[in-house]
Amino acid sequence: MTTTPVIDGIHLHARLAALARVGAIDGGGCARLALTDADKDGRDLVVGWMRAQGLAVTVDAIGNVFAVRAGREDGPPVMTGSHIDTVRTGGRFDGNYGVLAGLEVCRAFDAAGLVTRHPLCVAFFTNEEGARFQPDMMGSLVHAGGLSLQEAYAATDTSGLRLGDELERIGYRGRAAPGTIRPRAFVELHIEQGPVLEEAGRTIGAVTGVQGISWHEFVVSGTAAHAGTTPMRLRHDAGYVAAAAATYVRQLTHDMGGAQVGTVGVSELRPNLINVIANHARFTVDLRNTDEALLRQAEQRTFAAIDSVAQAEGAAVERRRLARFEPVVFDAAMVAHVERVARAHGHDPMRLPSGAGHDAQMMARLCPTAMIFVPSVTGLSHNVAEYTAPADLEAGAAVLLDVLLELAQA
């Protein structure tokens, strides 16, 4: 006899709190950098819960963990999940929430005596944050075939430790070949990490895709000179070039509008003295758009503007690409499915793109994929003060349950 499966909110909160105690840091946050002892402890805790729930756990060669709940039929599972590694001063919900909510869906199905047609799989992927080893979203990227095991193993942290060795050391270099479990569909539940849902007063976001990201570093070489004795027309001011670049980026986002965002987050001058014209400036430009053609346009316009201002100033500028990802557009039917379920739960869901990267964007290479967002208070994330209200966490998990249920029964 089956009943209607429902999320056990109390249990979800208790597990989030228990996982947050692993690698806990002052202020309520977590430090579980990928493949550290703290990451191992977090993994052991979650794998223990998976096994205790009777799920079949597989660890692959990059350390991704898959917990499968059998369905009436064999074949590809419906997959959900996220990551449990954190940045150095991370919050307790980023990633962890999606994984533990997936386990709560399994518990709810168990409690309701429900066996789905297709298997259900709850996954957590290795090194999503990229805070210790680059690139980020590494486990899901390897799973999707976008990065070889050899390349991933060769990544080193700042103290020279190899990722492959660290994976072995913490006991999570599994035997399964990456990509073996190819799901029918993938759904990731995650906190928004931005202020949009909160500002709009919505509880559920139906994520339409992930913004493309373009990261570049610029180094400007001018000429140090006395701020009093050097006429304006004889200056080669590296600091001015940096300032003009930052104001251009802001103007560009206004001119392009839409989803285009742009940020100069790093800016440093040398010698950085009040009465000396800077001979050196280093700054970064972070450009994002949901549309690849527009993102390319933003890059080209920014590069041209910076070259032009540097040339006019008689300063040299060097550009280095730090990261570049094309936008990802999620499957339209999957996004509509999330919206439909959210409405059935009484929500007024909001379509929005993700401004941050997620494992779902790698899984979208393999299968129809969607993401569900819940609000982040004041948009704060990668911060110990990251917070989402308990009711919102429960609402997101409840939507996830019905989204997965429908996919698993289809």
Chain contacts with a second copy (rule: CB under 8 A)? 192-196, 199, 211, 213, 215, 217, 224-232, 234, 237, 239-240, 242-247, 250, 253-254, 261-269, 272-278, 284, 286, 288, 322, 354-357, 379-383
| 94 annotated as ligand-binding | yes
70/316 with CB nearer a second copy: 316
Shortest distance (Å) from residue 72 CB to a second copy: 40
CA angle, 252 then 273 then 310, to 5°? 35
| 190 annotated as ligand-binding | yes
Shortest distance (Å) from residue 131 CB to a second copy: 11
CA angle, 156 then 87 then 205, to 5°? 125
Shortest distance (Å) from residue 387 CB to a second copy: 14
| 83 annotated as ligand-binding | yes
312/344 with CB nearer a second copy: 312
92/190 with CB nearer a second copy: 190
Shortest distance (Å) from residue 115 CB to a second copy: 38
144/242 with CB nearer a second copy: 242
Say how far apart CA 90 and CA 384 lie, in whole Å: 5
| 192 annotated as ligand-binding | no
Say how far apart CA 224 and CA 269 lie, in whole Å: 11
34/245 with CB nearer a second copy: 245
Q: Is 280 left (phi over 0), alpha (psi -120 to 50) or beta?
A: beta
Say how far apart CA 58 and CA 142 lie, in whole Å: 16
Instruction: Name the residue type at position 46.
Output: V
Q: Is 113 left (phi over 0), alpha (psi -120 to 50) or beta?
A: left
285/403 with CB nearer a second copy: 285
Shortest distance (Å) from residue 232 CB to a second copy: 5
Sign of CA dihedral 335, 337, 342, 346: positive
Cβ neighbour number for residue 193 with a 10 Å cutoff: 21
Say how far apart CA 243 and CA 248 lie, in whole Å: 9
Shortest distance (Å) from residue 285 CB to a second copy: 9
Cis peptide before 178, with omega less than 30 degrees from 0?
Answer: no
Cis peptide before 135, with omega less than 30 degrees from 0?
Answer: yes
Residues in the annotated binding site: 83, 94, 129, 190, 382
Can you say which residues are annotated as belonging to the binding site for Zn(2+)? Answer: 83, 94, 129, 190, 382
